[in-house]
Amino acid sequence: MTTFVLVPGMWLGAWAWHDVTARLRSAGHDVHPLTLTGLADRAHTGGPHTDLDTHATDVVALIETEELSDVVLVGHSHGGSVVALAADRIPDRLRRVVYVEGGPLPNGTRQLDTLDAQSQDRIREQVGDGWLVPPREWDADQDPVLLRGLDAPTLAMLARRCTGHPFGSVSQPLKVSGAAAAVPRTLVACTFTADQVREMIAQGHPFFGGVAGADILGLPTGHWPMFSEPDRLADLLAEID
């Protein structure tokens, strides 16, 4: 039996892990999907102060309050930076950190920095005087690579259920001390092959700048494997030692 804590990426809540959680629990694992402050069922708890530190604290608080140990901590996409910061605070409670479709950004880098200047300006305009980044468009015709494997009902569900994401979480730089350097790490690559990811790591690409030395596993599908390949993702997680 493995203890999993599952952290979603932008705009999602614990609900995104529903099918993965069900399969892992049916195999006897202890699974804790998490909604971060300001999102989904916790949308009412956030505000302009909500940032990356807040989200890392959410993860740490769950693990400590539930008295979890030997945890496999899983972060999807932007959740990779969240779990990296959390791992830096409580490395002794972790067995492994798993990054699904993106690792932690290089130290001192913001999620916002991965976008070009025009895209950054557009997000700031969308946020305006508020504190939330609106959900993305869920149009498979416009984005067939990232949305690969998502059928029309799933896309409609995502459009319906996604909530704005706290801007502070993507505009605050990731800063870790290196305390979790000895915790084993795994990257699950979906939109890129494992070989492509290794090459990007070697080139210092910011998408994978924080996962040098990690085990890399391939799961060919789109950017949201918890929806497009939930059973395969759950089985892969269960097989990670």
Residues 37-54 pLDDT 10s: 999 999 999 999 999 999
Q: What angle do CA 139, 22, 193 make, to 5 degrees?
A: 50
Residue 202 CB partners (closer than 8 Å, separation 6+) = none
- The answer to whether the CB of 3 falls within 8 A of the CB of 12 is no
Tokens 């896309």 found at:
155
Tokens standing for residue 93: 């409670």
pTM as predicted? 0.96
Beta strand 165-166 with 71-76 is unpaired
Q: Which of 124-128, 131-135, 177-181, 210-214 has the lowest mean pLDDT?
A: 210-214
- The span from the CA of 115 to the CA of 124, in Å, is 12
Residues 168-190 pLDDT 10s: 999 999 999 999 999 999 999 99
**What is the chain's alpha carbon radius of gyration, rounded to the nearest angstrom?**
17
- The answer to whether the CB of 133 falls within 8 A of the CB of 9 is no
Q: What is the pLDDT of residue 209?
A: 73
Residues 191-236 pLDDT 10s: 999 999 999 888 888 778 778 889 999 999 999 999 999 999 999 9
